A and B are shown apart, each in its own frame.
Chain A
Amino acid sequence: MSQATESDVREDGVIESVSGPVVTAVDLDARMNDVVYVGHEGLMGEVIEIEGNITTIQVYEETSGVSPGQPVESTGAPLSVDLGPGVLDTIYDGVQRPLDVLEDKMDSAFLDRGVDSPGIDLEKSWEFTPELEEGDEVTRGEVIGIVPETESIDHKVMVPPDALEEGETAEIVSIESGNFTVEQPVAELDTGEEISMRQEWPVRKQRPAAEKYTPKKPLVSGQRILDGLFPIAKGGTAAIPGPFGSGKTVAQQSLAKFADADIVVYIGCGERGNEMTEVIDDFPELPDPQTGNPLMARTCLIANTSNMPVAARESCIYTGITIAEYYRDMGYDVALMADSTSRWAEAMREISSRLEEMPGEEGYPAYLAARLAEFYERAGYYQTINGKEGSVTAIGAVSPPGGDFSEPVTQNTLRIVKAFWALDSDLAERRHFPAINWNDSYSLYRDQLDEWFESNVDQEWSSQRQWAIDVLDEESELQEIVQLVGKDALPDDQQLTLEVARYLREAWLQQNALHGVDRYSPPEKTFRILQGIKTFNDEAFEALEAGVPVDEIQNIDATPQLNRIGTTPDDEADEFVSGIEEDITEQLRELY
């Protein structure tokens, strides 16, 4: 997080009461959302309510042993993040303290209290190359130079949005190339403003943008069921609800690994410690399918696990989305994953109930819907204030109690997001992964993305998809009959439809995230597999028409090979499918 300088700190309040993460103080001179330091240990907190002389604070660290009478200091500044080179390839807690630095400073594997750290390394120097010259005019947000931040990403150093008014211009009076720390000025404006590589931004405030567009480009996910049936746009919003064990985290991690975003912000909000450790271990090893560089080079991780203080769970979502907006402003496509937004909502509920606010549905505060909407609203495909195009795609996992989607967090999320990937425990139990239920899920982006897929993958993209949807629909109707009378009682053509649908499920919709090849399916392969199944469909129905019994059609040994396309390396897949198609055709035609 961004740290207050000593001079801002005034010792001005006294603790009046302590109840878990909620502390009240009297005589504190602070504004709403100001950061304060609580007690003798200086625990970090944020002002969340002011009533008369009483200020209520949510504390981001454990409060055991803190007692009334201890001091509270206000920093006079709202909860903010440090933005600049060094944000990528880093893992933060919910208030942007780098976890590796904390380990160092605390000299322990356990998280101690009262230790603070800036969000980016203030000592490290970076190579700055100006993009503008002395005498050039700039407006707010304008890129003045470049810093190579990681192997994958050039960091754009921008005039902070709040350095100038909207529409105001200023002249660069000096700008230098060379190595600088993030706090040293690299340029100066004629307004007297010095620009360094570091900016601060209050997390609860959306960074300004010029305009929000309708998203037209897909965030290509490499997941067949998503790209194929329920695609998401760059700048879009999606929710992944599902009971525990249905695959929310694996889905989020797969997206973080393989989606064609420039930058990934991955927020582990109130979930497992080991899941973050897994990401920390895997991402530096795995190549980004776009650049071949380690995935970590495009990633910023935020980990506020379930056993870390609950107030920081409330803030981690804001920390994440603010970082995402910052890279969006550089013209990047950012994908943000929040696992899980339900834990965030619960953190709000926990704080709210300590404040004895009037509870809404299931004890959640009445402002739950508003907060969810505000969060997803910060996603979008934007024209930035410096005239670039950049996007933030927001994908939130939802963890409904008992897997029941009628609960408030799922319902309020449904009203906002445009893609809904509903996970299903039945599918998960039979190890059909990803366990995304194709009947319950939807994407409102589908039509607006067809053009992209048709011109970049195949003209037949949408017609072939429609065919697949029709077969799957028919299957679910037929399944109801089968449950009553058995499959053999169906007419041959319907039995054959079931067979085709089975291949759609097994060879196309299923995708093993744990398999080195299958985990990522480029859209060309996604399309090609479907084509292979369609070939089987067409040939099989011709054979049926020619009088071949359905049993014989089902028994040819080429068809099961369709299930092995997913695990066939991408560069061999096309040929492999062609081989299967030929075999199927030959074997079926032999039958009549």
Chain B
Amino acid sequence: MKEYKTITEISGPLVFAEVDEPVGYDEIVEIETPDGETKRGQVLETSDGLVSIQVFEGTDGIDRNASVRFIGETLKMPVTEDLLGRVLDGSGRPIDDGPDIVPEERQDIVGEAINPFSREYPEEFIQTGVSAIDGMNTLVRGQKLPIFSSAGLPHNDLALQIARQATVPEEAEDEGDDDDSEFAVIFGAMGITQEEANEFMDDFERTGALERSVVFMNLADDPAVERTVTPRLALTTAEYLAFEKDYHVLVILTDMTNYCEALREIGAAREEVPGRRGYPGYMYTDLAQIYERAGRIKGEEGSITQIPILTMPSNDITHPIPDLTGYITEGQIIVDPDLNSQGVTPPVNVLPSLSRLMDDGIGEGLTREDHGDVSDQLYAAYAEGEDKRDLVNIVGREALSDLDNKYLDFADRFEDEFIEQGFKQNRDIDGTLDIGWDLLSMLPKDVLSRIDEDLIDEHYDEDAEAEEVTAD
């Protein structure tokens, strides 16, 4: 391994060095500072005689006298089942005072793309126990379903609730088989505060989830560039557990906004032509290389389900970070500041939320025959009620028709009874759908045009509408 003392330029997170032997693109570099600290980096560009290096741990302390070593390989993650229960830093080094990790394999952290031909379409319902998700935006095994939130909202509580409550109903039924041991959580934190980190760790420890988790922690005061590798380390570990050890892995990545800021920082240091709002033009491709590492593979037992969390700058869904994410992921769950200030928990606004894989994961034999229709009708009715709210502010309730008033009441009850459940309650899918019918029964039967007539006959509560009418 050749060692150079040829650094010519240091600029932000980048270091440029002269070389007299060829160096491979993406290869790992070790830089030893004059006071003996070793930092790792990665080759961003290589040409005859000159390489540019992105340093993960920040360039402070590096000077012209620092020595540069090229390892001759790309960044690898040492993987083993023993990682379960361990806490690592954002570069994958243990920080929990546990024993050394003896890897079974070392895997390239830039995962190869899954051949679309080899994928298995995800359609196994995951019951999260949260009505806004199960009923309206169903999650399935192998899906990538992000939470779009804003600073100060309880997205972490929601993520933790999902991690705690998620089950695949059939499995719960045939107890005795040790299926639950096959469930693992990978938690990748990027630039979150110590306080948030504690929140997660406390919950993991309290519920015993830590044993079946691998935690990667890059905190707010850790180097920003490191954040670009943290999710890749997490996903490499997830792929190993899912596709070599048959685990059903749930990957929580938070906060993707910090990840994207780090990308922007590197782009700016490289003096690249920036894309929209200063983010690199290749951010879509870069994010896709993270998010697409979810899914199922034909013939494999395990799966990777991803719940990335991101905070939308200024709660703006058209900001490049949520925008590009939404274009890649299989839907989004929107945590809404207005619902939050109304006190609805979890404050999920279902209207702009979406699960693209819902359709194949629900229905007879999967959840319930009426699920699709009920959800469609709840959407339509809630949207109608929302419209009426705007109107009622102007003209008052009296100016609205009977039906319009019912829609208004519906929207209120939908938020207070269907969405509202707190972070502790675990509702099964029957419970969720039954609440749905309770609410739909407030409306006259013949406006329920999204629902099959037989299902209306079966589930519609004739008395409920009458009650409402007399109550008026």
> Chain A residues in contact with chain B, CB under 8 A?
15-20, 24, 62-70, 91, 99-100, 102-103, 106, 108-112, 243-245, 268, 270, 272-274, 276-278, 280-281, 303, 305-308, 310, 343, 346, 349-350, 353, 359, 362-363, 399, 401-404, 425, 429-431, 482-489, 506, 514, 557, 560, 563-564
Contact = CB atoms under 8 A, between A and B. Distances in A.
Contacts of A70: 22
Given A64-B26, A69-B22, A560 B395 contact: no
B453 to A, nearest CB: 8
Query: Which of B327, B376, B400, B447 has the most C-beta atoms of chain A within 10 angstroms of its own C-beta?
Result: B327
A399 B327 contact: yes
B116 A276 contact: yes
11 contacts: A17-B48, A24-B47, A65-B27, A68-B22, A103-B115, A109-B118, A245-B331, A270-B285, A274-B295, A277-B117, A560-B447
Interface of B: 22-27, 44-48, 73-74, 108, 110-122, 142, 243, 272-276, 281-282, 284-285, 288-289, 292-293, 295, 297-300, 318-320, 323-324, 326-328, 330-332, 351-352, 354, 356-357, 359-360, 372, 376, 379-380, 383-384, 390-391, 394-395, 399-401, 404, 446-447, 449, 453
A136 to B, nearest CB: 42
A19 B46 CA distance: 7
Contacts, number: 225
Given A111-B112, A244-B327, A276-B116, 10 more contacts: A18-B47, A67-B22, A110-B114, A110-B118, A278-B360, A303-B117, A483-B394, A514-B359, A560-B446, A560-B449
A8 B380 CA distance: 63
B117 A63 contact: no
B288 A489 contact: no
B46 A310 contact: no
Nearest to A63: B25
B47 A363 contact: no
Which 10 A-B pairs give the minimum distances between C-beta atoms?
A402-B318, A17-B47, A306-B288, A430-B383, A109-B118, A64-B26, A99-B117, A307-B292, A563-B449, A69-B22
A431 B376 contact: yes
Contacts of B360: 278
Query: Which of B46, B360, B376, B401 has the most C-beta atoms of chain A within 10 angstroms of its own C-beta?
Result: B46
Contact of B74 (A64, A276, A308): A64
A224 B121 CA distance: 29
A333 B44 CA distance: 47
Contact of B328 (A65, A272, A401, A430): A272
Query: Which of B73, B119, B383, B401 has the most C-beta atoms of chain A within 10 angstroms of its own C-beta?
Result: B119
B185 to A, nearest CB: 22
Nearest to B390: A483
A306 B284 contact: yes
A121 B182 CA distance: 41
Given A99-B116, A109-B297, A363 B274 contact: yes
B155 to A, nearest CB: 19
B44 A305 contact: no
Query: Which of B22, B383, B394 has the most C-beta atoms of chain A within 10 angstroms of its own C-beta?
Result: B22
B46 A17 contact: yes
Contact of A353 (B25, B272, B319): B272
A482 B400 CA distance: 11
B401 A306 contact: no
A70 B24 CA distance: 10
Contacts of B372: 514
Nearest to B298: A109
Nearest to A91: B117
Contact of B330 (A17, A111, A274): A274
Contact of B379 (A68, A306, A402, A430): A430
B110 A62 contact: yes
B23 A68 contact: yes
Nearest to A303: B116
A111 B112 CA distance: 6
Contacts of A484: 394
Contact of B285 (A17, A310, A557): A310
A100 B118 CA distance: 8
B113 A483 contact: no
Contact of A486 (B112, B243, B354, B391): B391
A268 B119 CA distance: 15
A486 B449 contact: no
Given A68-B23, A245-B354, A488-B399, A305 B113 contact: yes
Contact of A110 (B46, B115, B273, B284): B115
A328 B274 CA distance: 41
Contacts of A363: 273-275, 281
Contact of B119 (A19, A106, A273, A306): A273
Nearest to A404: B318
Given A16-B47, A305-B292, A306-B328, A274 B273 contact: no
Contact of A429 (B46, B327, B330, B352): B352
Contacts of B27: 64-65, 67
Contacts of A486: 391, 394-395, 399-400
